[in-house]
A and B are shown apart, each in its own frame.
Chain A
Amino acid sequence: MISDRIVIRDGDADTAVIAEFEATRREAMRRGLAVGGVVIAAAMVPALLNVRNAFAQARDDEAVLVAAIGLENTAIAAYAAAIKSGLLDRPTTKIAELFKRQEAQHRDGLSAALKSLGGTPPSGANAALLKPLKRVKTQAEVASFAVELETMAVAAYYDAQKKLKAAKLLQTGVQIMANEGQHLVVLRQALKKDPVPNAFENGKTAK
C-alpha cells in the first residue's frame, strides 16, 4: 500500500525515511499509481524539514516563538493562496477562510508574546513550503497540501512543548496545537479519511 504521508522524525533517521519515501513515490509514479497527495507530500519534504529544524534548533522561548510565527505566516499565506486558486467550492472556501483567520489569531497571540519578551515578530511566509501549492489542480489536492502543512504544525508545536519554559507559553502552544489538530479532522473528513487516526496526536505518526 502506498502511503500518501511521510513521517518526519527527529535526527539522523530523517534521511533514511525520506529516501524510503522517495523510492516508494518513484516506484508509484513509474507504475502510474501516484495520486495528488503523494506528489504534493514529497515536494514539501525539504521545506518541511527546514521548519522542523528551526524548532529543533531553538534554544529559548524567544526563538521558539520566532519559529512558530514564521510557521503561522506560512499557513496564512497557504490558505490565502488556496482561497484564491479558484479550485475550492463554496463550503470549502468558507472553511479555508475560517482556518486562515484562526492561523492569523495564532500569529497575533504569538507575536504579542514575543514583543513582551522584547523580540520582533518575523514577517513573510516560507516560500519553499508554498511552492507545491502552485501545482495543485483539484480541491482534493489542496486539502492534501493542507493536511501536510497542519500535520507539520502539530509536530512543530509538539517539539515546542519540550523547549518552552514559561508556563503561559506552554499553555498557549498546546491550545494552538489542539486547534491545528481540529483543522486536521475537518480536512481528513473532506478527504474521506479516518478523522482521528492516532491516540497520541504528535504529527509524527502516519496512518
Chain B
Amino acid sequence: MVAGRLCSDPLARRSFFRVAGVTVAGGPAAFIAACGAKRGSPTATTATTTGASADVAILNLALDVENLAIAAYAGGAKLLRGPLLKLGKEFLLHEREHASGLSEAIKQLGGTPNKAKPSYNFPKLVSQKDVLRLASKIENTAIAAYIDAIPKLSTPDLRATAAAIVTNEAEHLAVLQGALKRPQTPTAFVIGKP
C-alpha cells in the first residue's frame, strides 16, 4: 500500500524522495509511481539531458501557476463561508500538493524550483463571489497551461501526472462554477482559457 499512501500523503511522498535518494531516472518516475504506476516496480524513465532541462523549464512554469493558485486560495479564504470555506481550504491543500510534487520532480531532474512571488497583483476581493470568479480564472489558466505543456514533456509518466493535475483543476472549476450558479460541465472537451 506504499504507493497509495504516497499518493494521498504529501509528507510521505517527500520523505520517500529523501530516503530513497532516487536518481533522475527514478525520481520523477517515483513521483508518478505514487499516483498509479505498478507497485513495487519503479517505472523506468529514460529522460535525456536535453529532455530533462526542457522538462524543468515546463515544470517550473506549471509551478508558477500553482503558486499563483495557492496565493489566491490562501488570500481568498477569509471571504469564503460555510461549505465553500471548507472546499476552498481543501483546494488550497491540493494546489500545495501539486506544487510540492512539481518541486520534487524539478529537483530530481537537476533543476531548481521557482519560488513563489512575495505578492501577487490580484484584483481587489470584497465578496465570496469575487473569490470564486478569481479562482475560476486561475483554474482555467492552469488547465490551458498544462494541456499546452503535456505533449512537450519528455516522459510518459510526467505526462500522465500532469493529466492527473489537469483533471483535478477541472474538478475544482466544476465546483466553483456550480457555486456561481453556472453550468458545471459546459463542454465535452475541457480546454481552459489561457
Contacts and interface: CB of A to CB of B under 8 A. Distances in A.
Given A11-B39, A161-B156, A162-B156, A181 B165 contact: no
Contacts of B36: 9-10, 155, 158, 202, 204-205
B189 A172 contact: yes
B137 interface: no
B38 A201 contact: no
A200 B164 contact: yes
A105 B163 contact: no
B167 interface: yes
A196 B3 CA distance: 20
A186 B185 contact: yes
Interface string B179-193: 000001101111100
B177 to A, nearest CB: 9
A186 B174 contact: yes
Given A11-B41, A174-B150, A202 B164 contact: yes
A182 B173 CA distance: 8
A162 B29 CA distance: 12
A199 B93 contact: yes
Interface stretch (A61-69, A81-89, A95-103, A128-136): A95-103
Interface in A120-179: 154-155, 157-159, 161-163, 167-168, 170-179
Contacts of B189: 105-106, 109, 172, 175-176, 179
Contact of B35 (A167, A177, A204): A204
A205 B4 contact: yes
Majority-rule SS of A interface residues? helix
Contacts of B166: 174, 177-178
A201 B167 contact: yes
Contacts of B187: 102, 179
A183 interface: yes
Contact of A158 (B87, B147, B164, B185): B164
Given A158-B164, A201-B167, A205-B8, A179 B188 contact: yes
Interface string B148-173: 00110000110111111111111111
A7 B36 CA distance: 10
A207 B8 contact: yes
Given A11-B41, A13-B39, A185-B175, A161 B4 contact: no
A161 B155 CA distance: 10
Nearest to A7: B4
Interface string B95-112: 001100100000000000
B98 to A, nearest CB: 6
A177 B190 CA distance: 8
Contacts of B184: 182, 185-186
A181 B97 contact: no
16 contacts: A10-B37, A13-B39, A102-B185, A103-B188, A161-B150, A162-B159, A178-B167, A182-B173, A182-B184, A185-B184, A196-B91, A198-B7, A198-B168, A199-B97, A200-B97, A202-B167
Q: Which 4 A-B pairs have the closest CB atoms?
A: A167-B151, A178-B170, A105-B188, A178-B190
